[in-house]
Amino acid sequence: MGLFGSIVDVVFGKEISKFEVMVTTGMHQFKDGANINCVNFQFKGKIGNSRKSPSTIVFLLTDSNEKTPMLSLIDDCRLNGDLDPRFMITAPLPPASDYEGYKNWINSGLYVPLELIRHPYKGSRTMMCGSFVVDNLSNLSLADSWITYHFATGNTDIIFDDFGYMDAHKNRDRVKELSIDLCMVMAASDGSLDQSELNIIKGWTYRDCQLIDDATEKAREKEKFSKYLKKSYSKAKKGEISHDHLVNEINKICDNSSKHNLIELLLEVISADGVFSSDEDKLLNKLVKSLDIDNETFNAMKNKTVLNVESIETDNVSLEGLLGITNEMSKNEKCDHLRKQYTKWLNQTTNRDPKIKDRAQQMIANISTLRSKFGCD
């Protein structure tokens, strides 16, 4: 916990005045019409703001159960600048008398989309907001320099459906093993597990090890995964790995970003031998569905692979899967989706790379085949 300890101590240290803060979550409609689940901050109490130097209110978010901070996914909402990922957001305080302060709840006007905040743990949690009224002369980007007049906390209960970063940290090694296994299954799905595919899996496995400074630890980590790679390779060759079992475990312990990274890795493995085979495509589509990956995000990832792979087995491959058509789509949705895919691939028919140009023509022909099948007019 070391890195996060100091701010938690401050938050739970002492209250400065009768100042209250309320943190809530709920849907908020932005000016562009987007409806997004957001965190909102309100405050009230005897916090005068009539000094010559006005004050700013600072909000910090923490997982109250484990006293672990929420992290920001964007640079503008980070404590102590870029290197510290803890979530922080500020708002100017409107003028108020020293004697009266704010009798009623004042909305800070801040609505922070929850998707921009990285939580530590999955499940039902209490999110705590530590709020500081800080003199504007303070350097807001350096928490140690804050001149704090008031402090209060407010809680809200929230359910996080996805695994948090601490969950991911705890399960890191197992997630890596499962990813290796799944990649081996994918590589073997077309009947051959070749060196180019193995190189991709090896490269990915050892990538994290390169970041370890300590030579002994680095060697130990490499050895551990080297053993696992060999074991997984051997089992995959013999067909002894069940992808259903892997997916179940991945869903139990993997966060969304790890799942997306896994799909990216699987696409790399698929394209390693230059052929996008029908067996690989079928397995990939099945995995994407089982792992509950958003179809649009997956299609964007897949299109990159389809564009760059040497060949696609169009005779056998499911054209619907290749073009991102799902059974859940209505006829109109299928036709609309295919039209968008058409304009996307049309752009590539004038590509200077003849391989990409041919691929685009092939995809357009596939789109026409499907439109005809679905009776799009």
Residues that bind other proteins (CB under 8 A): 73-75, 82, 115-116, 118, 256-257, 260-261, 264, 294, 297, 300, 303-304, 307-308, 338-340, 342-344, 346-352, 354, 361, 364-365, 368-369, 371-372, 376-377
CB nearer other proteins, residue 111 or residue 374:
374
What three-state secondary structure class fits 133? strand
Instruction: Give the shortest CB-32-to-other proteins separation in angstroms.
Output: 13
CB nearer other proteins, residue 235 or residue 260:
260
State how far the alpha carbon of 277 is from the alpha carbons of 48, 117, 261, 266, 318, in Å: 69, 38, 21, 13, 10
Instruction: Give the shortest CB-347-to-other proteins separation in angstroms.
Output: 5
What three-state secondary structure class fits 31? coil
CB nearer other proteins, residue 152 or residue 250:
250
> Residue 59: beta bridge partners?
89, 131
In whole angstroms, give the CA distance from residue 224 to residue 226: 6
State how far the alpha carbon of 213 is from the alpha carbons of 168, 170, 219, in Å: 21, 20, 10
Instruction: Give the shortest CB-317-to-other proteins separation in angstroms.
Output: 19
In whole angstroms, give the CA distance from residue 205 to residue 180: 8
Instruction: Give the shortest CB-197-to-other proteins separation in angstroms.
Output: 21
- The 8-class DSSP code of residue 241 comes to -
CB nearer other proteins, residue 113 or residue 321:
113
Instruction: Give the shortest CB-335-to-other proteins separation in angstroms.
Output: 9
CB nearer other proteins, residue 318 or residue 372:
372
CB nearer other proteins, residue 13 or residue 274:
274
Instruction: Give the shortest CB-307-to-other proteins separation in angstroms.
Output: 6
How does 124-136 read in b/e, with b if 16+ C-beta sit within 10 Å?
Answer: ebebbbbbbbbee
